Structure 1
Amino acid sequence: MAVAAYASLVSLTHVLDNVHYRANHSRLHVDLKQIKSIQKGVNFLLDFLEVHYGRKDQKIEVLWRQIAETGFELEEVFDLYVTGQLQVPFSEESSDMGSKAFHDDLERLAQKIKDIERELSIVEKVVEDAQLGKQTRSSVVDGVSSTPASSRVKNKLVGLDEHVGRIMNALTKDEANLKILPIVGMGGIGKTTLAKKVFDDKCMVEHFDVRLWLSISQDYCVDDILHGLINEGKVEKSNAQLDGPGEALHKKLFGRRYLIVMDDMWTTGAWDDLRRFFPNNGNKSRILMTTRLSNVATCLCSREPYVMTFLDDNSSWNLFCQTVFQEDDCPFPELEQVGRKIVRSCKGLPLEITVIGGLLANSDMRKESWEPIAANVSSFGNASESEHCSKILLLSYNNLPLYLKPCFLYMRVFREDAEINVYKLVRLWVDEGFIKARETESLEEVAKGYLEDLVDRNLIIAREKDFLRERILSCGIHDLLRDLCLTESYKEHFMCSPRVQVVVKGGSVCFLCGSCVKGKETINIPIPASLFPPGSQGNLLFCGVCAVIYSHIKGLRMVMVLYSFLQHTKLRSVNVEVYRLPKFVSPPNVHWLWNLQTLSFWHLSDSSVVYLPSEIWDMPQLRVIEAKRVVFPNPPTSHVEEKDIFVLKSLHTLTTVLNFELTDAILGGIPNMRELGIRYNEVMKGSNACLGNLVGLQKLESLYVKGAVQLQNIAFPNSLKMLILRRCSRFQWKSLSTIGSLPNLENLMLWDTTEGPEWDPTEGEFLRLKVLIIVDCDLVQWRADQSHYPKLEYLELKNLSSLEEIPCNIGDIPTLHTIHLKECCKSVMDSAYKLWEEQESLGNDSLKVLVQEGVVDYSIYEFMALPLKDDGSST
């Protein structure tokens, strides 16, 4: 119960901060001394937990459970009181409504916290255990390898190279008809890793016209698989809407040589459901499958399946050393003997080796720290294969620092084989309240560090990185580790309150995640009649996953604050997905969702506009507001003495605001903005929208501006790292000095924004620029060399029909690794090829020149998340 207790307390700290802030600004009637007393008690319990969480005696387990229950009960008490206050105008008459009962509940729970503190203080040998706990915690948490997580080598396929060659040979044999090749082996042996290596190999890219990857898993849905292909842009949407996704896929594949990977097959049913969409073109098309079950492979293929074997001793040791030390052998002679003992105990299973390696890579590299782990791993020797693997994985989980455990266990909410967007995952961890605040970092920065740590420990898989290879874009979790998350969550009674909702209009969809509900699963929740919308039923529709996770729910306070959709007042994140709605007006009672941190409106039509009410300024805990077009209101009028009352102190992301007028009142209310997207239309023609005031946003890092017509008055803050200017009034190239002088600018996109035939950059500008993308301009001559963009890593030019050539000296920039050309004239491509040849002759074999056709449209988020895929021809 230590994890549930920790998660409960961390979540409660955010609620208490919200209550405290509201009370300080006369938005809530509470006794601040009482709140501060509870905060002090909660912080004591958190500190105690972080030191003693590894203790397993029965008495302290009971106290962990009491802490978790107290934390959740306190949140419930605050929710009941605050929502009651918000439903009536704040005044002297209404401020005492329910105050006595609220005060009494807080006194009772404050006393309960004191009782727990007293019980903890008399637990045997507290002082000695505290010192021992600090030492143990130091070795696990603080004794981190000197190699940062981001630099670790994650793609070594030790022992798999010979398998790759055999699979590729089998796939390219001269057999004209469609063939199936199954790869069989136990979980964790590397089937998916092998299939992915084959799938991405350059020879396979050149040999097959189309390559598609399908993750099947046990609980697969054909429509989900096919629609997933559509969403990834693999099948044209127009065809899919006309014919259905299966027929559209068939048309896509017909007459073309294709490779389909069907990963993680558990039954032949998935093949039976999908096979009719895979035409037999008689052109050596292939299906590659992975499965743990030999009988499935036998049923699907007349030939012998490809059986994955365990790694031999040498390959196992090599993989272990790559994982722990990023070297081919052990650099610490005193660790080799104990390390080889650990490797032998892993029995050649790659997943076990990498997970244990991830644990040891974060140790202090002392023999005394490794020996207890070796003893534990050796003790699993007599277990069955599946039990042995489970115990190895559990050992790694048990050795996680407490702050990482809630984030890891949360991975259970994602379906098997899901490809998880990292931006979304980090935000969910924050919204769920798992991240403990630090003075020097934002919650998102802390959460990103947690993700890197879990990837570094091989408990989460990094799947895709940005084109600079610096940031993870998507991740996943092995299904054996996901099973561990499920098992440990049940043991811990973890995740007791739903805080995230995906609102989807129409159809039978889950109340929480928005996915289709099969069999109309429901959970009976008693709901106060005064808060439930008239005429609605007290049963809520849940999907199978949410029905299991939240089966314990006893009650929710229901409101209808977003259009005609139902919410509950404990929500911290709402994602509204509505199609073909030209105007979405958020009602004024949206602030009843008083702990809401993320409000997103996606999948609205391109012409849709979201109108937010002025009550949005009464939600100081909001961190993210997103929509394609959102109209952001002016703050309510306040008296001079109340000038700080309407400040969205936590808001750091706001996109994309329509016709945003950056007045002093608005900018003063969003002082901590980091990502801002602005879009102007004809209504604002001739207005500068106070763009000169942008310089007042001293923490702004990412800015997207589209359609502005008065750029000569724009002023940027020095904190800016990413800038996108799209279809704005034209900058003269010589005027780019305003941008080039920004000291922290790393990423710049100029889209249909510049004019003039010549660009002669000034030396001493763009000193930290890493990414430069230029789209749609009349540039003819560009004179530049390595002194102008000394840190440039990625250059992209799109639709520059007048440009004569790329400056040849740009190739001398030592950091430049990619030049990407899209829809450029032949002379530009010729100059790029010449540049590449010159660099090759000088021994620079790291530079890539990619040529691609097609239209690519970037949003403010996609710009920094552009995957660098060689899906065009490269010179």
Structure 2
Amino acid sequence: MTFNYIHRCFLTDAEKKSKDIQVVEIWVRQVRELAYDAEDIIDTFNLHVERRKNATIVWRIIGFWNKLMTLHKTGMLIEQFNKRSTEISTYKSQYNIHESVSMQDSSHRTERLVSKLATRRTTPLVEEQVIVGFVEEATQLAAWLVKDEKEPRRRVMSIIGMGGLGKTTLAKLVYGKREVENHFDVCAWIYVSPKYRVRDLLSSCLKQVRGSITIDERSHIEKMDDGELKIELHKYLQGKRYLVVIDNIWNIDTWDRISASLPENQNGSRVLITTRNKEVAIHADQSTQHHELRLMNKDESWDLFCAKVFSSSGSCPPQLVHTGKRIVEKCGGLPLAIVMLGGILIGKERTNNAWSRVLACVDWQLNQDSNPSREILALSYTDLPYYLKSCFLYLGLFPKDSDIKVGKLTLLWIAEGFVQVRGEEPLEDVAEDYLEELIQRSLIQVTQRKYHRGPIETCRVNDLLRDFAITEAKNIRFLDILGNKMYPVSARPRRLGIHSCDTSMDVNHSSASFSKLRSILFFDVTFQIDMWKSTFGGRTKMLKVLDFEGVNLSGGLPKQIWKLVFLHYLGLRNCFSVEFPPSIGNLVKLQTLDVRNTLLCSLTKEVWKLKQLRHLYLNSFGVINLDSMEDLPRNLISLEISSDLWNCMWQASVRFGCLQSLTLNGELRCPNKSLRNFFPLSILELHLEESVLEEDPSSVLGSLPALRELRLRNKSYIGNKLLFLPEGFFQLEFLELRGLQALEEWTVEDEAMSSLRHLVIYDCPGLKMLPDGLINVTTLQKFEISNMPNAFLDRVKENGEDWDKIKHVPSITCN
């Protein structure tokens, strides 16, 4: 029986009791501290073991007495731990704790929920939006946006309301309407976080209105300063009818800074903003009648609750109606509270006894505090299975209102050890199920998918939920935030999110304070790497996660980092430049190494010896050391590298049987000029850029049995014909053809792309027409066309020559 298992069982029982009787809060705190101490004892001993493995024979001999002292010290700590454990266990019998108020099945998903999550492999769950009561409002707002005959000036409409009423959901509903998409030349969605930077907002807006852009164009935009971005965005939008949604504006100053880049043209452009501050709305446009959200009435509340809990039928069984309506009444008409309670009931048995236990728990929880909204949040958290509690609390590390990259989040969960082994399933799949379950419970909002109904790309946490997560996490010493005066750093932090270095780094922590750290995530890109030694030094020896994303590391990484033998995740994305010394080979437990958009001066052969690597992202480096390439770990799941390196791997007969995601940049030099057997059959996602393939790759790529996403970009293929054979690409859900300058003819034969949902064609100037076979791709839901010649656009317009081929597609956008 492992320590982690005992830890989970002990704390699960303790946390249940802490929610039932307030008296045991001290006891729960003692249990958790005991668990932390046990983890520290084990990790300290393992650290000593790992160091001895890497020591020379001389140092092993010299360190013999040190070994004895370590064993003696560890033995004493274990003895003290056992004594405290016995004392704490005796306290337990002194409390007469009953389970009457606790939802006893809260830590177990029902078969219904397990079945739902299992279908994600073939049919990804669509995020549920709070649309009950919003349908009519969304229709009215959409009509206002597209009506410009009498009001050609740029107008601003605001959606106003308190947190949790659904402002963003309503705006998304309007933004996604087909008539809105087709009415405007370009559209953009800007989200304003409390600690926003104007350049980030303008940069995001410019990238969106420009559509699909090349890496060089993106890099050029990211190098612009505020003034250049303002001019460029204003110039680009000047002659266009645009729609810009600005979500979550808090004050007038923010509006003034953004609006200066949005031209006051006279062609029916519109701006839609969401805000809690009515003054912002009036300031933005005094002549427009703004839309104020209200709390839901009883009927709307009940309809929303049923839509959440009974998504397939939308109706509640008669025997549950009475109890269900009593539960809904506790929410006071607040949509967020309704969907969260609904999220709890999705995983419960549909019996009156099970629902009555939930109602009793709601009543008990609401009696503890005068703030019903917060208590419903607390109830949703209490109801989480133990394996999801840490995953939810971890979200508190990220800045308020930030879009969180899901791929990164799930890898961080795995690195932290939150994701439990489940049979032979890859941990990455289990982590995705965790994410889906949090979404089902309305604790996470999906903000973007990679493509229509595809895998989730980014998510966000409602600010009320995030505040709750931070408070709860700090109470149990789970995480700390450096740079937020509302949440001072505890004496012995275990996880640290660095949001600001301006004042918080002046806090004088003792040497012991950072010695318990397991994770550091940097969100302040102004952090100077030379501050590492004075702030952390060599004290963070037990780190599992270290993420420097966005920090300028051109001055070199501290040498202490290469001694972190427990490190599972090292994030060096967008860090300008780094250099890997041979000592990177010490990071024997590393699972994820992310060096995207960072110049790696040289690629040392020691990287190939990191046997536990599962996710490797290297797309910019200088000298390649090819020695010992045969040692490269074969269990890689994600790989992003230059084509040169992939060519070398293939020539060295390196094969990856588990690889699911592959991104290659640069010319592919295939053996005998053939792509056959050049890509693993396990591939789900393939991105090729500047591959300069002369022969049509469609027959080979179309035969990959698991391929779901294919992006052919910027001279990846330089031939003039593509032929998709019958039954080819039968699993493909997303296809992007971009920057294929020589492409003139594309043929899609019967039953090819029979699962396609989302198609993008961008900057293929030679393509004369759409393939006739698209008329048979009945699964296609979204078609985006951008930067194509006018003759091509005329063909795909309604009643154009190609219209019949795509008129069955629900969403078609042309830029």
Q: TM-score with structure 1 length normalisation?
A: 0.73
Which residue of structure 2 lines up, in the alignment, with residue 365 of structure 1?
Answer: 350
Given that 2:630 and 2:654 are in contact with CA atoms closer than 8 Å, whether structure 1 keeps it comes out as: no
Which residue of structure 2 lines up, in the alignment, with residue 572 of structure 1?
Answer: 545
Which residue of structure 2 lines up, in the alignment, with residue 633 of structure 1?
Answer: 604
Task: Decide which of 385, 390, 402 is 1:418's aligned counterpart.
Answer: 402
Q: CA deviation at 1:455?
A: 0.7
Q: 1:140 to 1:654 in 2, by over 3 A?
A: same
Task: Tell me whether 1:744 sits opposite 2:706 in the alignment.
Answer: yes
Task: Tell me whether 1:719 sits opposite 2:695 in the alignment.
Answer: no
Q: 1:254 to 1:522 in 2, by over 3 A?
A: farther
Q: 1:85 to 1:249 in 2, by over 3 A?
A: farther
Q: 1:245 to 1:727 in 2, by over 3 A?
A: closer
Listed one character per residue, the Cα deviations across residues 722-741 of structure 1 (whole Å, up to 9, x for unaligned) are: 334443463533x7655444
Task: Tell me whether 1:768 sits opposite 2:703 in the alignment.
Answer: no
Task: Tell me whether 1:482 sits opposite 2:466 in the alignment.
Answer: yes
Q: 1:239 to 1:698 in 2, by over 3 A?
A: closer
Which residue of structure 2 lines up, in the alignment, with residue 624 of structure 1?
Answer: 592
Which has the larger displacement, 84-93 or 617-626? 84-93
Q: CA deviation at 1:326?
A: 0.9
Task: Tell me whether 1:812 sits opposite 2:776 in the alignment.
Answer: yes
1:784-799 equivalences under 5 Å are: 784-798=748-762
Task: Tell me whether 1:704 sits opposite 2:663 in the alignment.
Answer: yes
Q: Which amino acid aligns with 2:32?
A: R
Task: Tell me whether 1:673 sits opposite 2:636 in the alignment.
Answer: yes
Task: Tell me whether 1:465 sits opposite 2:444 in the alignment.
Answer: no
Given that 1:139 and 1:369 are in contact with CA atoms closer than 8 Å, whether structure 2 keeps it comes out as: no
Task: Tell me whether 1:351 sits opposite 2:313 in the alignment.
Answer: no
Q: Distance in 2 between matches of 1:829 and 1:261?
A: 26
Query: Mind listing any 5+ residue stretches in structure 1 that lack a counterpart?
Result: 1-38, 499-510, 532-539, 548-552, 560-565, 637-644, 851-869
Task: Tell me whether 1:98 sits opposite 2:66 in the alignment.
Answer: yes
Task: Decide which of 46, 49, 70 is 2:37's aligned counterpart.
Answer: 70
Q: Which amino acid aligns with 1:350?
A: P
Q: Distance in 1 between matches of 2:525 and 2:349?
A: 39
Task: Tell me whether 1:319 sits opposite 2:312 in the alignment.
Answer: no
Given that 2:743 and 2:766 are in contact with CA atoms closer than 8 Å, whether structure 1 keeps it comes out as: yes
Given that 1:249 and 1:277 are in contact with CA atoms closer than 8 Å, whether structure 2 keeps it comes out as: yes
Task: Decide which of 673, 681, 689 is 2:648's aligned counterpart.
Answer: 689
Q: 1:723 to 1:416 in 2, by over 3 A?
A: closer
Q: CA deviation at 1:635?
A: 4.4
Given that 1:464 and 1:475 are in contact with CA atoms closer than 8 Å, whether structure 2 keeps it comes out as: yes
Q: 1:86 to 1:483 in 2, by over 3 A?
A: same
Q: Secondary structure at 2:710's aligned position in 1?
A: strand
Q: Distance in 2 between matches of 1:208 and 1:814?
A: 26
Q: Distance in 2 between matches of 1:61 and 1:693?
A: 56
Q: Distance in 2 between matches of 1:270 and 1:804?
A: 45
Q: 1:524 to 1:247 in 2, by over 3 A?
A: farther
Which residue of structure 2 lines up, in the alignment, with residue 290 of structure 1?
Answer: 274
Q: Which amino acid aligns with 2:537?
A: M
Task: Tell me whether 1:338 sits opposite 2:298 in the alignment.
Answer: no
Q: 1:388 to 1:545 in 2, by over 3 A?
A: farther
Q: Which amino acid aligns with 1:558?
A: G
Q: 1:53 to 1:666 in 2, by over 3 A?
A: farther
Q: Distance in 1 between matches of 2:778 and 2:563?
A: 55
Given that 1:185 and 1:309 are in contact with CA atoms closer than 8 Å, whether structure 2 keeps it comes out as: yes
Q: Distance in 1 between matches of 2:350 and 2:53?
A: 55
Task: Tell me whether 1:613 sits opposite 2:581 in the alignment.
Answer: yes
Which residue of structure 2 lines up, in the alignment, with residue 591 of structure 1?
Answer: 562
Q: Secondary structure at 1:748's aligned position in 2?
A: strand
Q: Distance in 1 between matches of 2:311 and 2:380?
A: 19
Q: Distance in 1 between matches of 2:138 and 2:562?
A: 56
Q: 1:587 to 1:395 in 2, by over 3 A?
A: closer
Which has the larger displacement, 619-628 or 51-60? 51-60
Listed one character per residue, the Cα deviations across residues 493-535 of structure 1 (whole Å, up to 9, x for unaligned) are: 322699xxxxxxxxxxxx976755445752212349xx9xxxx
Which residue of structure 1 lines up, in the alignment, with residue 172 of structure 2?
Answer: 196
Q: 1:343 to 1:754 in 2, by over 3 A?
A: same
Listed one character per residue, the Cα deviations across residues 689-744 of structure 1 (whole Å, up to 9, x for unaligned) are: 251555632112222333232443763333222334443463533x7655444333
Q: Which amino acid aligns with 1:434?
A: F
Q: CA deviation at 1:220?
A: 5.5
Q: 1:744 to 1:237 in 2, by over 3 A?
A: closer
Q: Which amino acid aligns with 2:547?
A: V
Q: Distance in 1 between matches of 2:525 and 2:87?
A: 38
Given that 2:153 and 2:267 are in contact with CA atoms closer than 8 Å, whether structure 1 keeps it comes out as: yes
Task: Tell me whether 1:155 sits opposite 2:129 in the alignment.
Answer: yes
Q: Which amino acid aligns with 2:668?
A: A
Q: Distance in 2 between matches of 1:269 and 1:800?
A: 42
Listed one character per residue, the Cα deviations across residues 395-454 of structure 1 (whole Å, up to 9, x for unaligned) are: 111111111112212222223322222122223333444333445233333222211111
Q: Secondary structure at 1:157's aligned position in 2?
A: coil
Which residue of structure 2 lines up, in the alignment, with residue 43 of structure 1?
Answer: 5
Q: 1:652 to 1:170 in 2, by over 3 A?
A: closer
Q: Distance in 2 between matches of 1:541 and 1:578?
A: 11
Given that 1:464 and 1:474 are in contact with CA atoms closer than 8 Å, whether structure 2 keeps it comes out as: yes
Task: Decide which of 187, 193, 197 is 2:163's aligned counterpart.
Answer: 187
Q: 1:316 to 1:82 in 2, by over 3 A?
A: same
Given that 1:585 and 1:612 are in contact with CA atoms closer than 8 Å, whether structure 2 keeps it comes out as: no
Listed one character per residue, the Cα deviations across residues 435-486 of structure 1 (whole Å, up to 9, x for unaligned) are: 3344523333322221111111111111111224131111111122122112
Q: Secondary structure at 1:475's aligned position in 2?
A: strand
Given that 1:209 and 1:258 are in contact with CA atoms closer than 8 Å, whether structure 2 keeps it comes out as: yes
Q: Distance in 2 between matches of 1:168 and 1:764?
A: 40
Q: Distance in 1 between matches of 2:331 and 2:102?
A: 30
Given that 2:796 and 2:802 are in contact with CA atoms closer than 8 Å, whether structure 1 keeps it comes out as: yes
Q: CA deviation at 1:250?
A: 5.2
Q: Distance in 2 between matches of 1:121 and 1:719?
A: 50
Q: Distance in 1 between matches of 2:750 and 2:521?
A: 60
Q: Secondary structure at 1:73's aligned position in 2?
A: helix
Given that 1:694 and 1:717 are in contact with CA atoms closer than 8 Å, whether structure 2 keeps it comes out as: no
Given that 2:405 and 2:459 are in contact with CA atoms closer than 8 Å, whether structure 1 keeps it comes out as: yes
Given that 1:520 and 1:542 are in contact with CA atoms closer than 8 Å, whether structure 2 keeps it comes out as: no
1:403-442 equivalences under 5 Å are: 403-442=387-426
Q: 1:413 to 1:750 in 2, by over 3 A?
A: closer
Q: 1:757 to 1:332 in 2, by over 3 A?
A: same
Which has the larger displacement, 752-761 or 178-187? 752-761
Q: Distance in 1 between matches of 2:458 and 2:524?
A: 25
Task: Tell me whether 1:306 sits opposite 2:298 in the alignment.
Answer: no
Which residue of structure 2 lines up, in the alignment, with residue 562 of structure 1?
Answer: none
Q: CA deviation at 1:168?
A: 4.6
Q: How many residues align?
A: 758
Q: Which amino acid aligns with 1:614?
A: P
Which residue of structure 2 lines up, in the alignment, with residue 400 of structure 1?
Answer: 384
Listed one character per residue, the Cα deviations across residues 327-367 of structure 1 (whole Å, up to 9, x for unaligned) are: 56424221122112222332222111111111111212221
Which has the larger displacement, 392-401 or 569-578? 569-578
Which residue of structure 2 lines up, in the alignment, with residue 13 of structure 1?
Answer: none
Which residue of structure 2 lines up, in the alignment, with residue 5 of structure 1?
Answer: none
Given that 2:762 and 2:787 are in contact with CA atoms closer than 8 Å, whether structure 1 keeps it comes out as: yes
Q: 1:483 to 1:709 in 2, by over 3 A?
A: same
Q: Which amino acid aligns with 2:509?
A: I
Q: 1:157 to 1:52 in 2, by over 3 A?
A: same
